[in-house]
Amino acid sequence: MAKKNLSQFKGRVMKEAGYDVDLNNPESIKYEVAEEQGVPLQKGNNGHLTSEQAGKVGGPIGGNMVKEMVKMAKEQIANK
């Protein structure tokens, strides 16, 4: 359940960041980010990717998610 919720959160955040996200399959956003960054990400094993390439995909996704979590935390603190 937590994995599903995190995946849905990722999809929502990336959609708000301007990406074309299939909310029924939010994990697919990594392929759009990879294409945008010029990273040859494929379904299945991606052991051929360098850590720099993997970071180019995960960085924008994780960065946007962290920004949203900080925003949510600030709102919760303000509402107490």
Q: pLDDT digit of tens for each residue in the chain (80 aa)?
A: 888 999 999 999 999 999 999 989 998 999 999 999 999 999 999 999 999 999 999 999 999 999 999 999 999 999 98
Among 38, 12, 49, 48, smallest CA distance to 27 is for 12
Measured between its terminal Cα atoms, the distance across the chain in Å is 28
| pLDDT at res. 1 | 82
Return the structure tokens found at 67: 């920004």
Q: How far apart are CA 17 and CA 30, in angstroms?
A: 13
pTM of the model: 0.83
